[in-house]
Structure 1
Amino acid sequence: MHVVPLPALADNYIWLMHDGQGQAIVVDPGDAAPVDAALAQRALRLRAILLTHHHPDHVAGAAALRARHGAFVFAPDDERIHGVDHRVEDGDIVSLDAPEARFDVLAVPGHTRSHVAYAGEGVLLCGDTLFSLGCGRLFEGTPAQMLASLDRLAALPGDLLVCCGHEYTEANGRFARQVDPANTALAARCAEAAAMRATGRPTVPVPLASERACNPFLRVDSDGLVAWGQRQAAGNRLERFAALRAAKDAFRG
C-alpha cells in the first residue's frame, strides 16, 4: 500500500493510501480539492473515507468526496459527523476489498470525546491524538483519558508509521527540547525535521519507535521527564502528564 501525505488548509495532512490497481482510501479530508487533484493525477478511484474525529479541518471535504466518487465513509459514533455510512467504535475492524486493506479501530479519547485511530497496513492513522513530538490539546477529554490513549498507541508495534493530522513537528520539537534536554534521539529528530522542512518535505510519517524515543508525551516515565516533573511538583505519572500538557499549552518558543 502506498501512503501519501497531502498538504491541506494551513498545516493539515490528508492521508491518501492506494494500491497498485488504482484503488484508494483517504483519511480525514478537511478539504476535497487536494484529494480530487491527487486522484486525478494518479488515476485513482476513491473507495473509502476514514474519519478520526469531528473537527471541520478533518471532515469538511468528506461529503463532497462521497457524493462525487461514491466512497464509503467510516467515522466514530458521534452525531456531529454527518454523511456516514458506517459508525465505528473501539474493537471494530474496518475491512475493505478494494483496495484490500484491514484496520483495527481504537478509541483514543482526549482531544475529543469520540476520537478514534485506525491501525493496520503498516500505518497508525491517529488524527490529532498523537503528533510527531507532541500530542493533541485536550478540548473535550481529561488528562487521564489522553494519557491512557497515548499509552495504548505507544504499546503498538514500533514499525507502524505514525500518520498524524498536522505538520507540527518543528514547533513540538522546540518544546520537547525544553523539557527533555539530555535526549540525544530527540536532538537528532529535531535536526532531521528542520532539514526536511527546509526543503519543503513533510516530517511524517515517522516510525512509532522513533516517537517512543523522542516524544515527551510518550516518555512520562523516563528519567528526564521524572526529573522535570519533580521540578513542577508533579509526583505521579498522571500529574506529570497533566503538567506537561499545560506547559505545552502555555509554551511560546
Structure 2
Amino acid sequence: MHVAAIPAFDDNYIWAIQPYAGSDAIIVDPGEAEPVRQWLKGHDIGIMAFFITHHHWDHTNGLMDLLRDYQVPVYGPRGGHIEGITIPLGHLERFSVDGDDRAYTVFTTPGHTLDHICFYTPGHAFVGDTLFSAGCGRMFEGTAEQFHKSLQCLAELPESTNVYCAHEYTAANLEFALAAEPENQDIHQYSTQVKALREHGLKTLPSTIGLEKQINPFLRAANADEFARLRQWKDQF
C-alpha cells in the first residue's frame, strides 16, 4: 500500500491511497479538484473510490467536480448532508473497496464536527481534522466530552499506526505543545526535527500513534476537563 500527499490550498493534504503498485487510487477528502487531476495525470492512473471524513468545504469542494469524470463509490458520514456520498457509514462499520483487498473500519469521532469519521486499515488511519500531529482540530460542533472520547478511541490503535492528518499544522502545534508541557523532552526533540523538515519544504506527515502519545497534549489529556482547558487555551494561543 502506498499513500501520497496531494497538497491543496495553503496547508491541506488530500491523501491518495494506492492499494497496489500502479493501481488506481482512493482519494481522501478532495477539497480541491485540480490538484487531484494533476496528480492522477502525472501517475497515469484513475480513481477507484473517495473517502470523506466530514462536511467542511476544504474536504469536499472538489468531490462533485471529480465525480463528473469518475463514477465511483463515495464513502462518508451518515446524515445525507454531504452531496455525492453513496455509501454512508457509522461507527465500527467495516467495508472493502472494489479493487482493494484490505478491510477498512470506520470510527465516528465527533468533536471538530458532529459528523466526523475516521478510516482505519491495519497500519494506517486517515483522521481528517480530528487529530493533528501535536494537536487536534478546533471544537466547532462537538463537546469536550465527545472530542476527548474520540481522541482516546484513536489512541487505542497500535502505536505503529501511521496517522494521516489533513493539514500541515505540526510546527505551530508544537509551539503550543511546548507551552503546555515545557518539561517534555520528546516535544523538544521532535520540534527540532520538524523545524529541519519545514526549512527544507518537506512534510511532517504521516505521524504515528506512538509518537502522538509522546508529544500531543490533547491525546495525553487525562479527562474531558483537561482537554477542554487545553482546547480553550490553544484557541487563544
Which residue number in structure 1 is paired with residue 210 of structure 2? 209
Indicate conservation of the 8 Å contact 1:25/1:50, yes or no: yes
**Structure 2: which 5+ residue stretches go unaligned?**
none
Which residue number in structure 2 is paired with residue 234 of structure 1? none
SS of residue matched to 1:101: coil
TM-score (norm 2): 0.97
Which residue number in structure 2 is paired with residue 97 of structure 1? 98
Return the alpha-carbon distance in structure 2 between the equivalents of residues 71 and 10 of structure 1.
28
**Structure 1: which 5+ residue stretches go unaligned?**
222-236
TM-score (norm 1): 0.91
Return the alpha-carbon distance in structure 1 between the equivalents of residues 23 and 78 of structure 2.
30
Match of 1:215, as an amino acid?
Answer: N
2:21 pairs with 1:9? no
Return the alpha-carbon distance in structure 2 between the equivalents of residues 99 and 70 of structure 1.
17
Deviations, residues 200-229 of structure 1 (Å, cap 9, x unaligned): 1111001110001110001123xxxxxxxx
Match of 2:47, as an amino acid?
Answer: L
Which residue number in structure 2 is paired with residue 120 of structure 1? 121
Stretch deviating more after TM superposition (182-191 or 106-115): 182-191
Match of 1:75, as an amino acid?
Answer: G
- Aligned residue pairs, count: 236
Cα RMSD (Å): 1.1
SS of residue matched to 2:168: coil
Which residue number in structure 1 is paired with residue 232 of structure 2? 246
Match of 1:246, as an amino acid?
Answer: Q
Structure 1 residue runs of 4+, over 6 Å off?
none
Deviations, residues 137-177 of structure 1 (Å, cap 9, x unaligned): 11000000000000000011111111011010000000000
Stretch deviating more after TM superposition (34-43 or 94-103): 94-103
Which residue number in structure 2 is paired with residue 187 of structure 1? 188
Indicate conservation of the 8 Å contact 2:108/2:115, yes or no: yes
Which residue number in structure 2 is paired with residue 198 of structure 1? 199
Indicate conservation of the 8 Å contact 1:25/1:47, yes or no: yes
Deviation at 1:246, TM superposition (A): 0.2
Indicate conservation of the 8 Å contact 1:51/1:76, yes or no: yes
Return the alpha-carbon distance in structure 1 between the equivalents of residues 16 and 9 of structure 2.
16
Which residue number in structure 2 is paired with residue 158 of structure 1? 159
Deviation at 1:22, TM superposition (A): 2.0
Deviation at 1:94, TM superposition (A): 2.5
Deviation at 1:121, TM superposition (A): 4.6
Deviation at 1:21, TM superposition (A): 3.6
Which residue number in structure 2 is paired with residue 72 of structure 1? 73
Q: What percentage of residue pairs aligned between the two structures are identical?
A: 39
2:40 pairs with 1:46? no
